[in-house]
Amino acid sequence: MVQTQEETIEVTWEKLIITTGASPLLPPIKGIDLDGVLTSTDVLAMDSLPSQMVIIGAGVIGLEFASMFAALGVKITVIELLDRILPGEDAEIASELLKIMKRQGVSIKLSAKVKEIQKTEEGLTVIYSVGDKEFAQPCEKVLAAVGRKLNTESFQNLPLHLENNAIAVNDCMETNIKGIYAAGDITGGKLLAHLAFMQGKTAAQNALGISSKVNDKAVPSCIYTNPEAASVGMTQAAAENAGISVKVGRFNFRSNGRAQTLGDREGFVKVIADQDNTIIGAQILGVHASEMISELTLAITLKAKADDLADMIHPHPTLSEAIWEACGDLLGRAIHKI
């Protein structure tokens, strides 16, 4: 039964798939409702560029917009409550990307708390504190990029089992109610478009009687900064925290011939394996990282060993050679590592 402000519509169905998604989250900051304070949806509708912008949040969304607007000549200040950017991502990736973005002119304030947004004659001013010191950052626009909230309003009358406000599903995407499935952001976890698509496909196939499951151990994540960052599987820290004894291989793009010819030598490939050399995670920071991560996603999906990729012939000169070099490094036999 669907209820609107005007009428209640009764719909009959055999199977139901819930895909209500998520919306931009606005933090409880004084002045967050002022004109000129934007969400990640609003910012895409701007018809002109501001000279200065403050971005609240140094997660994926905040850094992607920071990278894009900085490249267009906008003076960007990113304010992050935590003491690092990209919480949840590999620490080496976050540390190196921070250095790169600072060199690109992006000002990033860490361990900083936004206290208020004020309207001024010139535009807006963001009041924030670092420790016991208070600062005022003038700007034309403010982008709130602190995450997204799940859209749970439309199914409040269904007795669905929720975990952390997300619909709990099994690996067939079925909820605790037989015949009701859920897919995408509303199921929580990584809020990624490609994961949502595969979850929706899996839910639809199971609803139609076609057995299907989602492999959530090999879900690639991509960050479209400049340079790009991409990851799949476990980070080194997550593996170690899980009690897994790991081997790590690393190779810098500055030693890769194709990266040198492209003039994009920033970043590296990092591969994580267990003691049997089975690849369990990987991270890439560099040009076309979002394209390269699929090779490592396939490796994790097939439970391949680092030996397989280190011995596989990669075309030369290509960026993908950095993957087999990183796998070679993990095995103690890198060829071109400096």
Please list the residues that pair with 52 across neighbouring strands. Answer: 75
314 catalytically annotated: no
DSSP 303: T
> What whole-number distance in Å separates Cα of residue 229 and Cα of residue 312?
24
Closest by CA to 73, choosing from 95, 37, 94, 48, is: 48
Q: Is the CB of residue 31 less than 8 Å from the CB of residue 120?
A: no
109: Cβ–Cβ under 8 A, 6 or more apart, which residues? 77, 78, 79, 80, 128, 130, 135
Distances (CA, A) of 16 to 2, 178, 181, 182, 185: 13, 10, 6, 8, 16
Catalytic residue selected from 161, 288, 314, 316: 316
Q: Is the CB of residue 93 less than 8 Å from the CB of residue 225?
A: no
What is the residue type of 295? Answer: E
Q: Which residues are catalytic?
A: 316
